[in-house]
Structure 1
Amino acid sequence: MKQVVLITGVLGGIGSATAELFHNNGWSVVGVDCGEVSDQVGGVDFYIRADVSDPLAWESIANQLSGRIENLNAIVNNAAIQVCKPLVETTPEEWDRVMAVNVRSVYLAVRQLYPFMQQQGGAIVNVSSVHAIATSANIAAYAASKGAMLALTRALAIELAGDQIRVNAVLPGAVETPMLYAGLSRGHLQGEGVAELVEQLGSKHVIGRVGQPGEIAEAIYFLADGGRSGFMTGQSLVVDGGATARLSTE
């Protein structure tokens, strides 16, 4: 029987790369995103269009899965949005939306999908961010949401251990995705054009470049696969090209 993984934010850069990797390793992939698609999504066996911040949407997801799968072996909570502006200019509605998509969605996913994992155990991988441990100006709501995700990861690891459900987090650094491009205007870089800005950002890393979605997907797969990471739970795996290893004063 194929193992089954559910991935939120599956249409994004990291989400799509993760779906392809799981699919290529023989998993059945359920993809969830708010985007409308007219054709089959690469690497996804069953696509569900849903707003992951909505409790009713998760009830619908659970109902759709109940007639399609018996067990769920892994959940990858990858859906996220960011607001790039000073905190004092961030509206309460923007703040709440970031928290709802980035954090509440994890709670809702676990609450609704726990019955699919309870009997045989499995893994939950939360895609946080290096902004949870080291951040910058004009991205406070996003940083706060990703920090909350880390605390939730530890709490869930403790609560679900009795059911043999492991819970870990991946903390990506700068990865070449649409979200990265959208955040290039925060004023932390100087340059002409997207390519120059991305190159400048990459030069700030110990490795000398930004990451690729597939590299984050490999870390997610490692944490989801019990054969590779069966003795890990409640942990945070940083994948950031060495960005947080270097002192900011250097």
Structure 2
Amino acid sequence: MSKYVLITGVAGGIGSATAQLFAEHDWHVIGVDREDEDIEGVDHFIQADISGADASAEIFEEVEEEEGRLDALVNNAAIQICKPVVEMTPDEWDATMASNLRSVFLGVRNAHSLLDPGGAIVNVSSVHAVATSSEIAAYAASKGGLLAFTRALSIEFSDDDIRVNAVLPGAVDTEMLRDGLERDYAGTGTTETVEEKMRALGIRHVIGRVGQPEEIAQTILFLADGDRSSFVTGQALTVDGGATARLSTE
């Protein structure tokens, strides 16, 4: 019998790679995104803004009608606004929190009754939850909140036999990373191309390169599949090529 997974932000780099990987392992994939995209591996696509309470409720009502249950929920959708805190507007701050944190609260609240015992929730946080950089404070705060929320959920949902874990990707070759490098949010003032910046960023990793979306997808699959990670809950699994292992003073 197929297992059912719902993945938010399915049109993004990590989301689409995750959908394809789950499909390759014979999962039935429900994909949600604000963009209307044809994503390989997605069996049931829902176009919606998951940060809205009504929209979130409607998503899971549709899943209940069409699939009837879930084995895993992958909260992957996120936005990133790169600018100094003093230049960020309240609306931009609120939009970041709504997309990256409020949407997860709404999703797990609405998905809870659909998740079978033995099910799993995987929250895609970020290394910015534990070590961050300049001009990305809202994103870091939202991902840090998601990490704390993950721990709390693992306790609350333990009696329901639902495991809750987080993945903390480092620099991964996605549109979000490339947009950040294009904006030069680190304030280097350089005229390097994005590709040059990508290579320089890779050198700063212990592994010597940035990650690929498929590598994060493998970690998500591991945490979602109860046959692979049945004794893992409340954890934050960092997948960053060793970036946070190295002292910045080296």
SS of the equivalent of 1:65 reads helix
Alignment of 1:149-228 (within 5 A): 149-184=146-181, 185-187=184-186, 190-228=190-228
Q: Residues of 2 paired with 1:208 and 1:62: CA distance? A: 41
1:63 Cα deviation from its structure 2 partner: 1.6
1:228 Cα deviation from its structure 2 partner: 0.9
SS of the equivalent of 1:97 reads helix
- Alignment RMSD (CA, Å): 1.0
Structure 1, residues 79-119: CA drift from partner, whole Å, max 9, x if none? 000110001111100000000000001100011111101x4
TM-score normalised by length of structure 2: 0.97
Q: Residues of 1 paired with 2:187 and 2:21: CA distance? A: 33
SS of the equivalent of 2:39 reads coil
Q: Which of 108, 112, 115 is matched with 1:114 structurally? A: 112
Aligned to 2:35: 35
SS of the equivalent of 1:109 reads helix
Q: Residues of 1 paired with 2:14 and 2:187: CA distance? A: 23
SS of the equivalent of 1:122 reads strand
* Contact 1:166/1:233, CA 8 A, preserved across alignment: yes
Q: Residues of 2 paired with 1:113 and 1:73: CA distance? A: 10
Alignment of 1:16-165 (within 5 A): 16-37=16-37, 40-117=38-115, 119-165=116-162
1:239 Cα deviation from its structure 2 partner: 0.2
Moved more, 55-64 or 211-220: 55-64
1:188 Cα deviation from its structure 2 partner: 5.1
Matched positions, count: 247
Q: Residues of 2 paired with 1:3 and 1:158: CA distance? A: 24
Q: Percent identity?
A: 61
Structure 1, residues 111-159: CA drift from partner, whole Å, max 9, x if none? 1111101x43300000000000000000000000000000000000000
Q: Residues of 1 paired with 2:36 and 2:73: CA distance? A: 21
User: Letter of the aligned partner of 2:185 in structure 1?
Assistant: R
SS of the equivalent of 2:206 reads coil
Gaps of 5+ in 1: none
* Contact 1:191/1:197, CA 8 A, preserved across alignment: no
Q: Residues of 1 paired with 2:210 and 2:187: CA distance? A: 15
1:194 Cα deviation from its structure 2 partner: 1.2
* Contact 2:63/2:69, CA 8 A, preserved across alignment: no
SS of the equivalent of 2:117 reads coil
Aligned to 2:9: 9
1:36 Cα deviation from its structure 2 partner: 1.8
Q: Does 1:235 align with 2:235?
A: yes
* Contact 1:4/1:30, CA 8 A, preserved across alignment: yes
User: Letter of the aligned partner of 1:68 in structure 2?
Assistant: E
Q: Residues of 2 paired with 1:168 and 1:188: CA distance? A: 33
Q: Residues of 2 paired with 1:205 and 1:171: CA distance? A: 15
Q: Residues of 1 paired with 2:161 and 2:213: CA distance? A: 29
TM-score normalised by length of structure 1: 0.97
Structure 1, residues 16-71: CA drift from partner, whole Å, max 9, x if none? 0000000000000000000023xx42110000001010010011112211211122
* Contact 1:204/1:243, CA 8 A, preserved across alignment: yes
User: Letter of the aligned partner of 1:52 in structure 2?
Assistant: I
User: Letter of the aligned partner of 2:208 in structure 1?
Assistant: G
User: Letter of the aligned partner of 1:49 in structure 2?
Assistant: Q
Q: Residues of 1 paired with 2:237 and 2:98: CA distance? A: 23
1:219 Cα deviation from its structure 2 partner: 0.5
Q: Residues of 2 paired with 1:247 and 1:102: CA distance? A: 28
1:191 Cα deviation from its structure 2 partner: 4.8
